[in-house]
Amino acid sequence: MERIDHWIDGRRVSCTSGRSAPVFNPATGEQAAEVGLASAAEVDAAVAAASAAAREWRRVSLARRSAVLFAFRELLARHSGELAGIVTSEHGKVLSDAAGEVARGLENVEFATGVPQLLKGGFSEQVSTGVDVYSIRQPLGVVAGITPFNFPVMVPLWMCANAVACGNAFVLKPSEKDPSASLRLAELWQEAGLPDGVFGVVQGDREAVDALIGHPGVAALSFVGSTPIARSIYERAAAAGKRVQALGGAKNHMVVLPDADLDLAADAAVSAGYGSAGERCMAVSVVVAVGDVGDRLVEAIAARIPKVKVGAGSDPDVEMGPLVTAEHRDRVAGYVEAGAASGARVVVDGRRAEVPAGGFFLGPTLLDGVHPASSVYTDEIFGPVLSVVRTATYAEALELVNSNPYANGVAIFTRDGGAARELQFDVEVGMVGVNVPIPVPVAYYSFGGWKASLFGDSHMYGPEGVHFYTRGKVVTSRWPDPSTSVVDLGFPRTH
């Protein structure tokens, strides 16, 4: 059985805790590997190596750091197929989707290559006679990232590209469900010329996370995962005096107005609802059908579902792969039952879909007439289940979205520019799409939800990422009157 262990100080290090967890191939349901689960002592070793490396790395010139990022970018691009294959084998998503994940992660490295520009400070000349003031941004030291199973390449890159570019050392604690990609990223960083220790990986579960939260050598924590864990990590890490950003779960709505391009909206609902088997934090989970669009829209979505081919993600003809574990598949299937019991109409039942035997498969499900009080609406399902809620008016739809505690993404489908403009200002959600179902910002903006989808005030990557991984310093400096200078400047000074 293959072992997946840590990466500390530039090399693979075996786990010594005696604890491990199985890693599955979700398409076959078979165990493919075993991942070590770090003890506090192993986390301590990773942080110690990172601390030593951080002291040197922060002194490396911006030009040199940028050169390492350019090299890393090239290596990621060259190995994107291989990385996508690793993601598919442990996560289950289809290869094209996994390649898309690598491409979206790579954007963050491209952004971070501009670190000489990104770290420019401000300068005010002559604020008082002979006095200048300027600001600089400096790295924090060792920063840690705790990432979810659903984007094992992209989410670590959301964090580490900027963290490393800004002069920090980064310790990654990836999901124990698909840990292999983290080690390949570490090898590529090393090949790109990053000094040993600047990027480390500790595999693990809660024990490793608790050790990072309590470690005095860790200055900041970035977390992406479910809301209950995000809230707990935010509270505990803040209490331990750390800078923390914790992105949580989601329940994303797609509001469809009666004037929407129906084909565009139905295509978007299918790709954003069932892509990656709904295991995306920006997946559309609720379609809000406004006015008389409901029947037409439900029919158009239902007509498309049989064309979604479900199977192993490694098969290029397949559009939707399995869920990540058997337990998660069973939990998601339970929501189909709960939806029916709460009075929703099961238009398409994913439990009846023809799927390959053995793997953790579930077909796409469509529920109509979902009541906002039912668990199908209130809970984050994180699977291929689309719920249609009908509202009489746009105002009712907006009220529904704004009453939901989750607030990651929202989309509106309409031909009415005025309605779209109204929604973008009035909706209490962090990321808005206008005729775009999954509005993940490009790397030169920042990613983050509101309310229960983000704890902390910094969004991730982009300009807010640079801000999060640096702290500001302001210098006020006075130089003596030049008339007293020992150097003859050869002309009268005016300042």
Q: Which residues are catalytic?
A: 281
Q: Rounded to whole angstroms, how far apart are CA atoms 322 and 363?
A: 9
Identify the three-state secondary structure at position 408.
coil
Please state the closest distance from residue 249 (CB atom) to ligand NAD, in A. 3
In the complex with ligand NAD, the residue whose CB is nearer, 148 or 439, is: 148
Encoded tokens for 458: 């910094």
**Nearest distance from C-beta of residue 236 to ligand NAD, angstroms:** 9
Question: DSSP state, 441?
Answer: P
**Nearest CB to ligand NAD, comparing residues 248 and 313:** 248
Spatial neighbors of 478 by CB under 8 A, at least 6 apart, are 128, 130, 131
Residue among 168 and 175 whose Cβ is closer to ligand NAD: 175
> What is the smallest separation between the CB atom of 171 and ligand NAD, expressed in angstroms?
13
Alpha carbon 398 to its chain centroid, in Å, reads 26
- Distance of alpha carbon 227 from alpha carbon 155, whole angstroms: 16
Task: Report the greatest alpha carbon distance in the chain.
Answer: 91
Q: Measured from the CB of residue 451, what is the shortest distance to ligand NAD in angstroms?
A: 11
Q: Whole-angstrom Cα distance, residue 153 to residue 159? A: 11
User: With respect to ligand NAD, which residue has the nearer C-beta, 148 or 321?
Assistant: 148
Closest Cα to residue 162, out of 453, 446, 454? 446
Nearest to ligand NAD of 382, 394 (CB atom): 382
Nearest CB to ligand NAD, comparing residues 115 and 157: 157
135: helix, strand or coil: strand
Smallest distance, ligand NAD to C-beta of residue 247, A:
4
Closer Cβ to ligand NAD, 165 or 281, answer by number: 281
CA 47, CA 62: separation in Å to the nearest integer? 24
Nearest approach in angstroms of CB 448 to ligand NAD is 7
- Alpha-carbon dihedral angle through residues 344, 260, 270, 158, given to the nearest 10 degrees: -110
List residues binding ligand NAD (CB under 6 A): 146-151, 173, 175-176, 205-206, 209, 224-226, 229, 247-250, 281, 380, 382, 408, 449, 453
Q: Whole-number minimum distance, CB 492 to ligand NAD, in Å?
A: 60
Distance CA 113, CA 107 (A): 10
Are 153 and 83 spatial neighbours (Cβ–Cβ below 8 Å)? Answer: yes
Q: Report the distance separating Cα 405 and Cα 438, nearest Å.
A: 19
In whole angstroms, what separates CA 206 from the centre of its chain? 19
Q: CA quadruple 358, 152, 225, 454: dihedral positive or negative?
A: negative
